[in-house]
Amino acid sequence: MARSPMVPFWLVALVAVIVTGAPAHAQQQDYREQLGALAWQVGPTNGALGTIASIPVPSGYRFLGRGEAGKFLELNENPTDGSELGLLLKDDGAFFVIFKFSADGYVKDDDRELDADAILESIKKGTAQSNEVRRQRGWGTVDVVGWHQTPFYDPQTNHLTWAVRARSDTGESINHSTRLLGRSGVMKVNLVLSPEDVGTAVPAFNQLLTSFSYNPGQRYAEFTRGDKVAEYGLTGLIVGGAGVALLKTGLLQKFWKVIVLAFIALAGAIKRFLGGLGRRRESIEQPADV
């Protein structure tokens, strides 16, 4: 897979805008170098998600694999535990997608009556825990506003989907989450976008997921007796690895590690910056060569 030596001008300048609120030259140059060091794979290509799965990367998108995806999040002031297997970014900045895999085992899908109100309350509490970590790092905080889409499970595809609306000091964003059940665990897929892009981004995201595939031996239908079974069900996939126990007891110690809402503020900044860039695009002949 080829490594791209080019990073679009808008992406380079975007990071400076997020960090400083203005494209300061010195900081822009610093982040230009850091972004240029990432191993971007430009579509069309195939994105390997560790040894578990893969997703085709079409034209108009770029991909970062294991290790590189976490670096991208850190550059944008978002906590990472190093478990990210990939990041898919649309070249026009409309949205990006994070892929993480939880190897907790086969998740039974027999608890399909999901209590949306109780789940949302636990997500809010977990996000509050995440905000404590963000404050310690000097980063902005995030508040959960409510559901954009209540949790929904499709037994035909074994996909669990929900979307949360949240607010930060950079504006309002939507975190659209999908869990793809597999034989040995779950692929956690999170779409980060601005509210105004829901109508186009979500269909595009859903289309991308139709091409996602677990590697042979990793598919949900390939479960066999004796395989590891997760200690939680569908509700646990939404509120975190401790799942139902967290809902029942309210214990949220270290819960921030499994809450993905921390990076949603980035989407709003992307759209605001690109709006200004669009008015200047005619004067930009080529992406910046980094």
Other Cβ atoms less than 10 A from the Cβ of 51: the count is 11
pLDDT at 225: 95
Give the contacts of 289 (CB within 8 A, at least 6 positions apart).
5, 6
Residues across the chain:
290
pLDDT at 27: 63
CATH 3.40.1000.10 given to domain 9-282: yes
pLDDT at 236: 83
pLDDT at 141: 83
Provide the residue type at 40 as one letter: W
Give the 3-state DSSP-derived string for the chain, with helices as H, strands as E and coil as C.
CCCCCECCHHHHHHHHHHHHCCCCHHHHHHHHHHHHCCCCEECCEEEEECCCEEEEECCCEEEECCCHHHHHHHHCCCCCCCCEEEEEEECCCCEEEEEEEECCCECCCCCCCCCHHHHHHHHHHHHHHHHHHHHHCCCCCEEEEEEEEEEEEECCCCEEEEEEEEEECCEEEEEEEEEEEECCCEEEEEEEECHHHHHHHHHHHHHHHCCCEECCCCEHHHCCCCCCECCCCHHHHHHCCCCHHHHHHCCCCCHHHHCCHHHCHHHHHHHHHHHHHHHHHHHCCCCCEC
pLDDT at 28: 64
**Each residue's pLDDT expressed in tens, for the chain with a length of 290 residues:** 443 333 333 333 333 333 333 334 446 667 667 877 889 999 999 999 999 999 999 999 999 999 999 988 888 767 677 889 999 988 887 888 999 999 999 999 988 888 899 888 888 887 887 788 778 888 778 888 899 999 999 999 999 999 888 888 777 777 788 999 999 999 999 887 777 888 899 999 999 999 999 999 999 999 999 999 998 899 888 876 333 333 333 322 222 233 333 333 444 443 443 343 333 222 222 222 22
pLDDT at 235: 87
The model's pTM is 0.71
